[in-house]
Structure 1
Amino acid sequence: HIFSFAGKSMAFEGELSCIVSDPQKHGDKIGSFVTYAVNVTSTLPAYDGEEGSVRRRYSDFEWLRRGLQENYPFVIIPPLPEKESLNVKGRFKDAFMERRRRALEVFLNRVCSHADLRESEILKSFLTARTWDLESQKGSKISRKFDYMVRDVMKDADSLFLKMKKNSNDKDAAKFEQLRQYVKNVEANLSQTEDLAKGIAKKKRALAAEYDQLGPVMNLIAQAEDQIAQPMEAVANMFRNVGAVLEKAASNDELCFVEPLREYVLLTKAVKSVLVNRDVAWQGYNIAVKDLSQARKDLEKATELLHAPEKRSKVSSFFGKLKDSNPAEKKKKLEEKVEELEGTVEKEKIMCSNGTSKVLDEIRRFHEHKRVDFKAIMSEFVKAQIDYHAAVEQSWTDCLPSIDQISLDPKTPLRVVAEEKK
């Protein structure tokens, strides 16, 4: 895919792409919100080769991502921009809406570039449904069986892994524990890099403000010192130019370095979620295997008691725990339970096997995209630094001729020296 964070649209060569644009505020009070135009271009048969546009708000994007998580538990679902703790006025500032617009566009195009996700019905509804139709779909109940299982079983990723390690049929558990540690380290390193990059941008912006303050001071000196008036005016302009360059550099750092770093921090969290989903699936399989083993033992015991006359006295005590007093009927129910659990175990085993393969494919895809993305990120960042330093150097260089006009002879007026040089 073609990828750029430098203020350009992120586009993918392929069958489906989106451009998010034109943020608009609706309402003036507490219930106010922002919608974005989502412009779709597609050659997929499901979209009839259409180009269209819909308006969506942030909560619609959240609905889309939740639906994708539910339907594709072993796929790395790209992250949405985080909700920020801003007051109402802050949420409607142009800078915030533009930053969110860029992040939403990155999210959508990551989804549209995925072979499975771009075929999903929920994505098609998001990209094509009219507003009232989408609201109707959002109001309908979505099965969240797997999501609930994750929340109920998965209290802590590390404790779950230790529990599975003691009693698990997962032959790849050690491999996935290494992956878990790798992702954990990547997240920590990226978070630290993001914090440092934020600090650099903040310092550049603070330095820009100080240079802006130097400009007026130099103008005051120029007004008070006729001998060096023209050079000081040139220096004042130079300080203003350098301040503007620094401000632009800070904005570029945030745009082409801080923002993509933040997106990758969130993306590593999405990777961790997929690893957790796989662990939960294997935990479900282990539980099913344990239940089947117990049911088979109960059936074996029931069969033994029913066909052993010398153990008739034990039959009543064994079956007495069951509501049905008919031992033969109870044996039949146990047989049905074993058959049902065998089906459950097979189903869980297939899901675990497919889930493992899918997660490994997703991790490979994550690495491939990370290489492409980081090449673009670092290239844009380095080029921005080169441009920044070149612009600062040029500002200083342009100022030197004016400074050279200052005469060291106190009897010679500066303006005369300037005329002689001409």
Structure 2
Amino acid sequence: MSVGTPRGLASSGQKPITEIPHPLSAAEESLSPGPDVSISPGGDKDPELTNGTLVDGSSPASASSTSALLSRLQVEENSEADAAELYASTETRDLFVTVDDPKKHVSTMETYITYRVSTKTTRIEFDLPEYCVRRRYQDFDWLRVKLEETQPTNLIPPLPEKFVMKGVVDRFSEEFVETRMKALDKFLKRVADHPVLSFNPHLNAFLTAKDLNKRQGLALLTKMGESVKHVAGGYKLRARPPEFNAMGEYLDTFSQKLGTIDRIAQRILREQSEYLTELREYASVYSSWAGSEDELQRPLEGVAGCVTTCCGALEDLSENMSQDFLPVLREYVLYTETMKNVLRKRDQSQAEYEGRLEAAVLRRQEDRTPMPLEVEKCQDKMECFNADLKADWERWQCNKRQDFKQLLIGMADKNINYYEKCQTAWESLVTVLQEKQTEDKTSETN
């Protein structure tokens, strides 16, 4: 039996992660007893983040300084590689999409926001070089459901959460709409840059059609997607490849770290908001005090001006955290859940292959019947999952390094800017106080 090149290999251009045993020649070996691996995550371990690759744990603890140096060199090397890959991808891109210009629509039935989706392309699959359509959030949700349905072996980028807590966030506020627009733009750009997803016909319809015929079957597909998400939880694999074990451990640890950072950042944001309220009141007290103290008017007004400047700087810092820092964290929390779902479906595919192979081997031993074609199809499906998941994993790691590098540099710049503004304001007050002191001494001598 010859196994042809799987679709996943052709689409992603990657080699299979593992060599899958041929059903005829190595069936007994593949079914030999091995450690059962649960698909459901478990354990209380807190492994180090290693990009989902296997790590040799035998390194001595005394080599921490050397490890730090090697880690730094590795980061620099990865950054250069990511920059080169990003440059190469922009040079060969032929599909550019942008989401902007949010507009509020009010009708008797509902109120909603639409966004302008602009497309420029040179692909022959498109009839025109440019398109401009308006889409609402549920249109983006439809596209993602269709991509999950038709590309089950690929990692589909996440969308921002649809629902918000009533009374906590106004979904029609300018800040919320702006944050959602940025997230939708990033989602669509990730899909358009993907070497497989960007050729999906549903993406073509989303970018070009004036009206999407998407209502029929959407609820059913959503329910099916949710059921598939949990279907693999009861399978026990005979020998899950170590590469995918490393991926699962990395995702568990990564999501845990992100969750902790998100909770702390939310608490810092609340404390900054409370501090900002007190600081504004603090400035107003000095301003009112200055009106009743002629001798201290300039120093008191100076203090009020310094505190007001610090208020503005802190407001900018908090706005950056709420609009730029936290959304990236939430996006990657959703990304890890999406990656875990793809990993579960890959495990389900392996479990299906192992089950059918075991049944076929038993029948072959009993009556010498040929290996059924369904076993070959299951093997091809598993190889597609392996290749596509490997390619998307590497692409996801590259995007993650780029995104967090920009995020952390931006956070550092914003904090530096905040403290520089505060320092400049208080240094100017010192000058005012020194001038006042000189004036007082002059008046005393006269």
* Range into which the TM-score falls when normalised by the shorter chain: 0.7 to 0.9
Aligned residue type for 1:97: V
* Residue 264 (str. 1) matches residue 343 (str. 2): no
- The question of whether the paired residues in 2 share the 8 Å contact of 1:79 and 1:107 is answered with yes
Match in the other structure for 1:112: 192
1:375 to 388, 405, 415: 405
1:27 to 106, 119, 137: 106
What secondary structure sits across from 1:17 in the alignment?
A: strand
Q: 1:295 to 1:31 in 2, by over 3 A?
A: farther
Match in the other structure for 2:119: 40
Separation in 1 of the partners of 2:108 and 2:151? 37
Post-superposition offset of 1:284: 1.9
What secondary structure sits across from 1:227 in the alignment?
A: coil
- The question of whether the paired residues in 2 share the 8 Å contact of 1:207 and 1:243 is answered with no
Match in the other structure for 2:424: 394
* Residue 347 (str. 1) matches residue 377 (str. 2): yes
Q: 1:296 to 1:138 in 2, by over 3 A?
A: farther
Separation in 2 of the partners of 1:245 and 1:123? 42
Aligned residue type for 1:267: Y
Post-superposition offset of 1:139: 2.4
Task: Describe the superposition over 1:174-213 as per-residue Cα deviations: whole angstroms up to 9, x where unpaired.
Answer: 3312211111101111121122223233333322222211
* Residue 98 (str. 1) matches residue 166 (str. 2): no
1:252 to 320, 327, 330: 320
- Give the CA RMSD over aligned residues: 3.1
2:267 to 199, 210, 215: 199
Post-superposition offset of 1:67: 0.9
Unaligned segments of structure 2, at least 5 residues: 1-78, 80-88
What secondary structure sits across from 2:314 in the alignment?
A: helix
What secondary structure sits across from 1:47 in the alignment?
A: coil
Q: 1:149 to 1:214 in 2, by over 3 A?
A: closer
Match in the other structure for 1:309: none
* Residue 222 (str. 1) matches residue 293 (str. 2): no
TM-score normalised according to structure 1 size:
0.76
Separation in 1 of the partners of 2:228 and 2:203? 28
Post-superposition offset of 1:400: 2.0
- The question of whether the paired residues in 1 share the 8 Å contact of 2:153 and 2:389 is answered with yes
* Residue 15 (str. 1) matches residue 78 (str. 2): no
* Residue 79 (str. 1) matches residue 161 (str. 2): no
Post-superposition offset of 1:276: 0.8
Match in the other structure for 2:207: 127
Aligned residue type for 1:21: D
Post-superposition offset of 1:368: 1.8
Match in the other structure for 1:364: 394
Post-superposition offset of 1:298: 7.3
What secondary structure sits across from 1:81 in the alignment?
A: coil
Kindly report which structure 2 residues correspond to 1:402-413, keeping only aligned pairs within 5 A, or say none: 402-407=432-437
Which structure shows the higher helix fraction? Answer: 1
Match in the other structure for 1:6: none
- The question of whether the paired residues in 2 share the 8 Å contact of 1:80 and 1:103 is answered with yes
- The question of whether the paired residues in 2 share the 8 Å contact of 1:219 and 1:236 is answered with yes
Q: Which moved more, 1:148-157 or 1:393-402?
A: 148-157
- The question of whether the paired residues in 2 share the 8 Å contact of 1:27 and 1:33 is answered with yes
Separation in 1 of the partners of 2:246 and 2:188? 30
Percentage of pairs with the same residue: 27
- The question of whether the paired residues in 2 share the 8 Å contact of 1:65 and 1:77 is answered with yes
Task: Describe the superposition over 1:57-97 as per-residue Cα deviations: whole angstroms up to 9, x where unpaired.
Answer: 11111110111111111211111001233439822111111
What secondary structure sits across from 1:91 in the alignment?
A: coil
Q: Which moved more, 1:200-209 or 1:242-251?
A: 200-209
Match in the other structure for 2:42: none
Q: 1:33 to 1:299 in 2, by over 3 A?
A: farther
Larger radius of gyration: 1
What secondary structure sits across from 1:78 in the alignment?
A: coil
Q: 1:118 to 1:152 in 2, by over 3 A?
A: closer
Q: 1:141 to 1:266 in 2, by over 3 A?
A: closer
2:144 to 65, 75, 80: 65
Q: 1:356 to 1:22 in 2, by over 3 A?
A: same
